[in-house]
Structure 1
Amino acid sequence: MTHLIVATHGKFSEEIVNSAAMVFGEDENTHVVTFLPGEGGDDLVAKYQAIIAHLPENEPVLFLVDLFGGSPYNAAARVATERANTDIVTGISLPMLLECLDAKDSSSLTELVETAKEVGVQAVKSFRQPEPKAVQSKVVNQPVQTVKSSTPLNGHLNIALLRIDSRLIHGQVATSWAKAVKCEAIFAVNDEVANDDLRRELLLQIVPTGLKGYVIPVEKAIKVYHNPKYTGKNILWLVTNPTDIVRLIEGGVKVEKVNVGGMTYKEGNKPLSEAVTVNKNDVEAFKKLIDLGVELTMQQVATSSKVEVTKAKLDAIQF
């Protein structure tokens, strides 16, 4: 396992690690070092050494710092020169940090350094000059790759995860959930967004390289689910509300579990959790799903614990 030390000028290191926690969750092996006015290189070295002193001997350490040649980098170089299994990557960004968090437990230090450098470059995008992405599509018009599985095919898509998330495809989905469920494609299922050219294209731009992305209405999703040529495809499904899940089930889509992620506040909504707010229609739809035997659990990020949604919790909401 590689330990990460995030060090920057000012409190940027604290805030970028806090931002990463919103997507990836808390990570006890990621350490923050700030460089504040009045401090010097020796202060940084002391902070670095205090962290390393509590790590297992010779445990790999990767410094992620802001500026090449800046004080956080120079102090890290002093430490790395005297310590094996230690390296530094400059130009830290949120995509770089998220990728390192995801890969650090399964990669060597050398591999993690290459990952950080590669992601740091690939994460730079332009809205006006988007890179072509042949794997994205507005409609399902071609099959995705088949999952190799010993499970007999049942004539339907495999729902790797059905998640309620008001934002549909966004950074957390691209960097965390898609990897956690090992999907081959992402369905963003919503009638309104599927008919909005701008919103649809913005969502498709976020789909990770190597995956197919589709923004489709509910009825289209039902038809694709029943199309035998997609049998065995492992798909991450995203919807914005539980009512659409009821519609999917009524259309013959087999749903056993629902992951309730984020439902943003709208006027009149009541909180079900810190990240989930609901209206009367949502509550009734959730109750119907429970009656249908669907397991409902709230989970903000892939690494956080699941919290069951029960009728008792729903009944406690007062409108």
Structure 2
Amino acid sequence: MSIVAVRIDERLIHGQVANLWTTSLQASRIMVIDNDIIKNDIQKTALKLAKPSGVNLSILGTEKASANINAGKYDKQRVFIVVKKPETLEKVLDNGVKIDTINVGNMSQKDTTQHLTQSINLTKEDYDSFQNILAKGVKITAQMVPSDNIKKFEDVLKDYKL
């Protein structure tokens, strides 16, 4: 399988992902991995409507996505994986999926988050997941759109106050 990019973006498929990232990556498939969305027909329909024309879409839970990737189901495609939370990617990695780099886009501010950048806000659970992912040797970057400078995510994490 050709995973061309992996992105954490709470908004999943929206203008930046659908137009800028998918085009820049020349992705032939967007794979949304989320254990809650697979149970929600309204959210699945919204994602189907938001995807770019001519790009395939998979909406899968962590187990099914991991199994499909490990079985080589998408080997001849350019797959762009999008998830809401780092915890999802931590599970996918634990299931044996090889990911080299993760890009962090938008993680919204909530009552339980700590503000790190204009678009990145983390909970303690997010922070712990990122630390676990980094410990597995996965590179993590922060970049909102393809034309932005790429930041090392370890530098962003340094501002997190435990």
Residue of 18, 21, 24 corresponding to 1:180: 24
Structure 2 residue 36 is the aligned partner of structure 1 residue 192: yes
TM-score (norm 2): 0.94
Structure 2 residue 121 is the aligned partner of structure 1 residue 281: no
Q: Measured at CA, do residues 166 and 229 of structure 1 come closer, stay the same or move farther in structure 2, by a change above 3 Å? A: closer
- Look up the match of 1:262: 106
Measure the CA separation in 1 of the matches of 2:79 and 2:20. 15
> Residues 54-113 of structure 1, C-alpha deviation per residue, up to 9 Å, x if partnerless?
xxxxxxxxxxxxxxxxxxxxxxxxxxxxxxxxxxxxxxxxxxxxxxxxxxxxxxxxxxxx
Helix, strand or coil: the match of 2:3?
strand
Q: Report sequence identity in percent.
A: 27
Measure the CA separation in 1 of the matches of 2:51 and 2:160. 35
Measure the CA separation in 2 of the matches of 1:231 and 1:216. 17
Measure the CA separation in 2 of the matches of 1:316 and 1:197. 38
- Look up the match of 2:77: 233
Helix, strand or coil: the match of 2:36?
helix
Deviation at 1:227, TM superposition (A): 2.1
Is the contact between residue 204 and residue 215 of structure 1 (CA under 8 Å) also seen in structure 2? no
Q: Measured at CA, do residues 200 and 272 of structure 1 come closer, stay the same or move farther in structure 2, by a change above 3 Å? A: same
- Look up the match of 1:272: 116
Is the contact between residue 2 and residue 74 of structure 2 (CA under 8 Å) also seen in structure 1? no
Deviation at 1:219, TM superposition (A): 0.9
Amino acid at match of 1:283: Y
Gaps of 5+ in 2: none
Deviation at 1:296, TM superposition (A): 0.8
- Look up the match of 2:157: 314
Is the contact between residue 174 and residue 206 of structure 1 (CA under 8 Å) also seen in structure 2? yes
> Residues 151-193 of structure 1, C-alpha deviation per residue, up to 9 Å, x if partnerless?
xxxxxx2111000000111111111000111110101111111
Measure the CA separation in 1 of the matches of 2:133 and 2:158. 14
Q: How many residues align?
A: 162
Helix, strand or coil: the match of 1:178?
helix
- Look up the match of 1:242: 86
Helix, strand or coil: the match of 2:91?
helix
Mapping of residues 286-305 of structure 1, within 5 Å: 286-305=130-149
- Poorly superposed stretches of 4+, deviation over 6 Å: none
Mapping of residues 37-116 of structure 1, within 5 Å: none
Amino acid at match of 1:314: L
Measure the CA separation in 2 of the matches of 1:313 and 1:174. 25
Is the contact between residue 105 and residue 142 of structure 2 (CA under 8 Å) also seen in structure 1? yes
Residue of 60, 68, 76 corresponding to 1:224: 68
Amino acid at match of 2:95: G
Who wins on radius of gyration, i.e. which is larger? 1
Helix, strand or coil: the match of 2:53?
coil
Is the contact between residue 160 and residue 235 of structure 1 (CA under 8 Å) also seen in structure 2? yes
- Look up the match of 2:54: 210
Amino acid at match of 2:161: Q
Higher RCO (C-alpha under 8 Å, 6+ residues apart):
2
Gaps of 5+ in 1: 1-156
Measure the CA separation in 1 of the matches of 2:150 and 2:79. 21
Is the contact between residue 204 and residue 214 of structure 1 (CA under 8 Å) also seen in structure 2? no
- Look up the match of 2:8: 164
